[in-house]
Structure 1
């Protein structure tokens, strides 16, 4: 066997095989053909139903199980599930703009209900599907062997309309994807006619005919025309779609919103459940309930019951912002197009609207040309036969005499050929015809047919000899098809008045509350808190911050890795229990802890002025800095904002809002304490590392500190390694310059941690516009 062993590069072999696999997925499964808009599985389903089972729209439907079995056994050697899914999708009117399969039975619903198993459903082709298939028997397209080599299947379907645009498609291949929205059939056909008449037409002119996507569920497109034009020129972009709604007055001051359409691809059932969750969580207090009143007569009706004084415009603006009632469709025009030599199909992205229409028209030109050539061949063959009848008609008696005197059919054929200069085909046709067919009256019919066939042949030859005439035929067929499918648009192009401004504060019930943060990173919102000890925490956990504020304001959580996370206080879960872990709302790196929280309520942190407010920050490396609170007030993303730059191994050990304090005390692990003025620390305009606050010795770290002065605290309390605590007042620790080592207050022991000052609570009952002195 040695002569059969070949040494190859494993990298090269893997690359080669993966490329073959990738191209197989791209061309054989995931991407549609620009000519008929079909993926192989869709094409094989339609071909099998039409060619093998004759399941046309005017016939009785057949079991889906049989259709799936025929397709899988003859053309598509993949799973039955994939075939049935494709069959179901082509029948769903909320997916396809022009359905190609008529389904009988449970084929799913727009509410997300799955279809019944294929043994329970039946299907046949729709009338529209006929226009993709009915030229198959006219040699308009090429065929190839199926996977087993025992049948022939079409390479593409002889589509009479641009199915790729009309029904759209979605697919993910290797290294590329496609996502094409559906469009209105009549609009697309009119654009094709316009492009035939004006080959140099721009995308902007074509968009006068094709207004934009036309989704089967309706909705309205709020993307402006310049953006749409750019998307259709570049073949990629995002199209914003909204559901439509109307207000219904019920009398006695009651009213309701009725959602009459939803964006393409949205699960209506899931949408209703989500809106119900918003109502239950009181995130949309203007709504009382949501119900589904959709029916065949009135169409889609998602009913939202309003409170008496609710503004429906505000409600819809919130729903557009927070639910799938507004959705961006990621337009990605990628398809298989003919290669430069026209022999193969290659993937191409960034196709413009004009590219798609031109590829279809080029394909249609070749298809119609081949159809006429096929018809002409058939006509010429028939004319040839009829010419034989015409020849013998003038000597019919002589022909009959020759046939009588012959010895069998073969001899008669030879005598006719010799006598009348006929060929085999004509002679055999004459001998096969019944005698009465060549009587005088029947011969007249034959001669009339001969004249008609010659006339038609001449017409076709004239058409084939002129591209202009051939394009004229194509144009006429497209116009006729547009008349047969004149359905109006379902998706409306929105005006400026349709765009609702979203103001999040309009949906929040304003109330005073407290945000509780624990050492283990659990957060919750409580309205009244008599004492820190009265709130529930998990075993082994402890409260490290309680910050007051209005639900309209935000709270800032500061992590020890130098990241700040800001969210609306209203978004913090209200709970009488433990609350929720903060990692549910923000993305914290491994091992990172939240060390404190700061409110942005202007009653406690005044609006930003030249004098503050500021954050004072100290790190384990002994660096300190002051930073304006301004940039941290607005909501952040889940990943937060950086508020200090840290070296490897460094972390924040103190972050505190500066009030009327004058100085700061910092403590180190090895027993040092330093006391210096806050004014010694510069205020940074942006994020930085700061300056040295305490000069640390080898293996020493800063463990934290306390702001001193004002009406708050005048000492730092430190727990030592022996478990005892020591208190160092401002008078005992003199103020020195920033950046020194400070005083060594313990020698044989070390500092374990800073004992946090007691948490101050606000008595909301005493608040009248401005908070009174909080209770401890």
Structure 2
């Protein structure tokens, strides 16, 4: 035995760069996944496993009008001859092709339990039976006529088709989805009648625009129905680029139940939503109190879907209830469009609607040409044989003599009558009982008929116009078979515009309850249930105390003014409960360590606010402009250290004057119109002060007078005539406050 190493290099080891090895192997894996597993072929709309299942069923002669066969037998044939993978994976693919709630135009006619829309699995393959549907038969039409390429199977024993003839526009009709390496595909199903209308238009107008095609193919048609609420512009853009999405909603109706009560009946759920899991999820959300408008949910489905949603009370608006359900549950979903397909079975690319239709038509022309050429060869062979028969008929006695007495009758027939080998073989293979049928009239009749067909085929192969006419005729036949007037062809998904809801849905989804928000001096926040007036029993951490107590509701937003002039927004419903000391507000917002919260108040849309700094600068800002959407807050008042943002006070409707109070207990009153309205900035000087800083402000109506509240909760009001000595112009220093003004140097709660 030789000691020579098997592998090249020292000790039989060949050094390879690890990066090169990994790249090469991963690329091979990626290409296999893309081409042989995840992406469909644009021509027949099938992935290899589906193509092999359909072809194997044909080989087993499971025609639409024939008998059924156990799925275990079908799976075994597919696995043994074409698809060397697990039988469960093959059976799952086969079962899905039979599910009318998963496939718009099923390719498999199943007998037995093939699963349901609740998500239950099909019965085992030994219990179920299947055969092809008419759609699958259309995909295979003409496959014996050398119209598509075949390739060796995985072990080279048999041949399998690389693509099917596809006389049905399967890619768009049934859709497809898959995840490859670095790319994915997601194509929704469409209506075959509409697709054929678009194809016929494209045949007649090869340069048709997508806008025109979308008039005939307005959008997907899902097997489970539903309502498309995607705007037309978005649909158009998606079909142009091959990327986009469609908002799909459940179909529902209001059903009166007597005495002013009602219930919502859902009759169609979005595509690929499992009904049982949907009901389970709705029940979970109800338990978590995230669906406050919903009272109960139950499933009364039998053959047809019937999902019952009961409102919390008869006063709940059904439209608002359903909008809240669409937002929180899978009663609405977005079905993505990513038309990533294999062109010519080789090139993965994202195609628009027009290109997908065009490439299918080009494939049909290619199939037509190859089928015509195959038929032409068959006709020419038959005509050659008929010519030989005619010679034999006219010289029957001589032919019989040659066959009986000559040593090499074939050669003698060829030389005697100038026949071809094919003709000579055909004559020699005739049985004696067939001689009586060799009548000249019949031979000539068949000869004339085939000659005519040959001329037509030759003209067809020479004329593009005739080829497109034949394709149009085939498409019309498909359209007629699957027209919208048929049970299978009727459009199931309808179109509608999403209703405009004026109510804040976010607030509607939260159960409205009164709360008291407590903010401590050191920035701890909590929400007590109800509106609490007595806060003396509240406990705080050592060294901490009450800063603000705000009466609000769970549906409110809390606005926080920081000393750096930023405003932060918190959802009241998400604040920690009243047990304990709450949580530091810094955990909820991004506030710098050297700054603090100076004021807090509930958000009220449409209101205006006066914002001011300790330096006496300020401006009026619309409250809608200060709401922040992120943890980082929104910069509203620009301040320069050591000044700080001090306060925000509301501007009542019709207010015309403002009172400014300084730390030096001097008060100034001037017209509100002297203050600028801005959305961000430093503002204008409100009150000048040589010592101290701005302490408080109050905006009021001249006719109502100026009101303040002391520490005991008593309210005092000075009329305009009593306030005249404090009235001046903006930026003055003002005069000392009136007698009896609170020692706290504050007008009291502003909100």
Secondary structure in structure 2 of the residue aligned to 1:207: helix
Whether 1:476 and 2:473 are equivalent positions in the alignment is yes
| Equivalent position of 1:698 in the other structure | none
CA RMSD of aligned residues (A): 4.9
Unmatched 5+ stretches in structure 1: 339-343, 618-622, 647-652, 665-676, 678-682, 691-705, 715-770
Is the Cα contact below 8 Å between 1:555 and 1:597 reproduced in 2?
A: no
Is the Cα contact below 8 Å between 1:587 and 1:639 reproduced in 2?
A: yes
Q: Which residues in structure 2 correspond to 1:589-738 (within 5 Å)?
A: 598-601=600-603, 609=608, 612=609, 614=611, 637=629, 641=633
Whether 1:128 and 2:135 are equivalent positions in the alignment is yes
**Cα distance in 2 between the residues matched to 1:520 and 1:143:** 75
Whether 1:271 and 2:243 are equivalent positions in the alignment is no
**Cα distance in 2 between the residues matched to 1:357 and 1:579:** 66
| Equivalent position of 1:100 in the other structure | 107
More displaced, 107-116 or 623-632?
623-632
Whether 1:422 and 2:429 are equivalent positions in the alignment is no
| Equivalent position of 1:91 in the other structure | 98
> Alpha-carbon deviation of 1:459?
1.9
Query: Residues 403, 214 of structure 1: CA spacing in aligned structure 2 closer, same or farther, 3 A cutoff?
Result: same
Q: 1:36 aligns with which of 33, 41, 44?
A: 44
> Alpha-carbon deviation of 1:166?
0.8
More displaced, 480-489 or 376-385?
376-385
Is the Cα contact below 8 Å between 2:264 and 2:309 reproduced in 1?
A: yes
| Equivalent position of 2:346 in the other structure | 345
Secondary structure in structure 2 of the residue aligned to 1:60: coil
**Cα distance in 1 between the residues matched to 2:81 and 2:646:** 71
Deviations 1:205-263 (A, max 9, x none): 11222121111122222223333222211222232222222222233322222222233
**Cα distance in 2 between the residues matched to 1:89 and 1:624:** 72
Whether 1:431 and 2:428 are equivalent positions in the alignment is yes
Q: Which residues in structure 2 correspond to 1:387-466 (within 5 Å)?
A: 387-406=387-406, 411-440=408-437, 444-466=441-463
Secondary structure in structure 1 of the residue aligned to 2:277: helix
| Equivalent position of 1:488 in the other structure | 490
Whether 1:305 and 2:322 are equivalent positions in the alignment is no
> Alpha-carbon deviation of 1:435?
1.2
Is the Cα contact below 8 Å between 1:318 and 1:504 reproduced in 2?
A: no
More displaced, 526-535 or 261-270?
526-535
| Equivalent position of 1:762 in the other structure | none
Whether 1:526 and 2:529 are equivalent positions in the alignment is yes
Deviations 1:335-390 (A, max 9, x none): 1113xxxxx621112x2211111111111100111011111111222222222111
**Cα distance in 2 between the residues matched to 1:592 and 1:13:** 55
Q: How many pairs are equivalent?
A: 670
Whether 1:354 and 2:346 are equivalent positions in the alignment is no
Is the Cα contact below 8 Å between 1:318 and 1:502 reproduced in 2?
A: no
Query: Residues 582, 97 of structure 1: CA spacing in aligned structure 2 closer, same or farther, 3 A cutoff?
Result: farther
Secondary structure in structure 1 of the residue aligned to 2:98: coil
**Cα distance in 2 between the residues matched to 1:558 and 1:46:** 68
> Alpha-carbon deviation of 1:564?
6.8
Query: Residues 125, 318 of structure 1: CA spacing in aligned structure 2 closer, same or farther, 3 A cutoff?
Result: same
Is the Cα contact below 8 Å between 2:589 and 2:633 reproduced in 1?
A: no
Query: Residues 29, 588 of structure 1: CA spacing in aligned structure 2 closer, same or farther, 3 A cutoff?
Result: farther
Deviations 1:511-566 (A, max 9, x none): 4222468999896562255777989999xx99997642134421247999999763
**Cα distance in 2 between the residues matched to 1:565 and 1:531:** 28
| Equivalent position of 2:381 in the other structure | 381
Whether 1:63 and 2:65 are equivalent positions in the alignment is no
Is the Cα contact below 8 Å between 1:537 and 1:577 reproduced in 2?
A: no
Q: Which residues in structure 2 correspond to 1:450-599 (within 5 Å)?
A: 450-486=447-483, 487-494=489-496, 496=497, 499-501=499-501, 503-504=503-504, 507=508, 510-515=512-517, 526-527=529-530, 529=532, 547-556=550-559, 566-569=569-572, 571-572=573-574, 598-599=600-601
TM-score (norm 2): 0.75
**Cα distance in 2 between the residues matched to 1:586 and 1:109:** 45
Query: Residues 613, 589 of structure 1: CA spacing in aligned structure 2 closer, same or farther, 3 A cutoff?
Result: closer
Whether 1:231 and 2:238 are equivalent positions in the alignment is yes
**Cα distance in 2 between the residues matched to 1:104 and 1:37:** 25
Q: 2:53 aligns with which of 45, 55, 61?
A: 45
Query: Residues 461, 285 of structure 1: CA spacing in aligned structure 2 closer, same or farther, 3 A cutoff?
Result: same
Query: Residues 279, 8 of structure 1: CA spacing in aligned structure 2 closer, same or farther, 3 A cutoff?
Result: closer
Query: Residues 403, 516 of structure 1: CA spacing in aligned structure 2 closer, same or farther, 3 A cutoff?
Result: farther
| Equivalent position of 2:252 in the other structure | 245
**Cα distance in 2 between the residues matched to 1:378 and 1:586:** 81
Query: Residues 421, 109 of structure 1: CA spacing in aligned structure 2 closer, same or farther, 3 A cutoff?
Result: same
Query: Residues 383, 244 of structure 1: CA spacing in aligned structure 2 closer, same or farther, 3 A cutoff?
Result: same
> Alpha-carbon deviation of 1:114?
3.3
Is the Cα contact below 8 Å between 1:313 and 1:500 reproduced in 2?
A: no
**Cα distance in 2 between the residues matched to 1:592 and 1:80:** 66
Secondary structure in structure 2 of the residue aligned to 1:102: strand
Deviations 1:443-487 (A, max 9, x none): 644443333222222221221121111111111111011101112
Is the Cα contact below 8 Å between 2:270 and 2:332 reproduced in 1?
A: yes
Q: 2:149 aligns with which of 119, 124, 142?
A: 142
**Cα distance in 2 between the residues matched to 1:591 and 1:33:** 60
**Cα distance in 2 between the residues matched to 1:451 and 1:709:** 110
**Cα distance in 2 between the residues matched to 1:206 and 1:15:** 43
> Alpha-carbon deviation of 1:280?
4.6
Unmatched 5+ stretches in structure 2: 1-7, 484-488, 639-643, 651-658, 668-675, 684-692, 698-707, 712-746
**Cα distance in 2 between the residues matched to 1:192 and 1:106:** 36
Query: Residues 448, 221 of structure 1: CA spacing in aligned structure 2 closer, same or farther, 3 A cutoff?
Result: same
| Equivalent position of 1:768 in the other structure | none
Secondary structure in structure 2 of the residue aligned to 1:89: helix
Is the Cα contact below 8 Å between 2:567 and 2:634 reproduced in 1?
A: yes
Is the Cα contact below 8 Å between 1:93 and 1:99 reproduced in 2?
A: yes
Query: Residues 172, 200 of structure 1: CA spacing in aligned structure 2 closer, same or farther, 3 A cutoff?
Result: same
Is the Cα contact below 8 Å between 2:709 and 2:748 reproduced in 1?
A: no
> Alpha-carbon deviation of 1:267?
3.0
Deviations 1:370-421 (A, max 9, x none): 01111111122222222211111011122222223245xxx33333333322
Secondary structure in structure 2 of the residue aligned to 1:208: helix
Query: Residues 194, 599 of structure 1: CA spacing in aligned structure 2 closer, same or farther, 3 A cutoff?
Result: same
Secondary structure in structure 2 of the residue aligned to 1:439: helix
Is the Cα contact below 8 Å between 1:55 and 1:125 reproduced in 2?
A: yes
Secondary structure in structure 1 of the residue aligned to 2:257: strand
Is the Cα contact below 8 Å between 1:245 and 1:260 reproduced in 2?
A: yes
Q: Which residues in structure 2 correspond to 1:82-231 (within 5 Å)?
A: 82-231=89-238
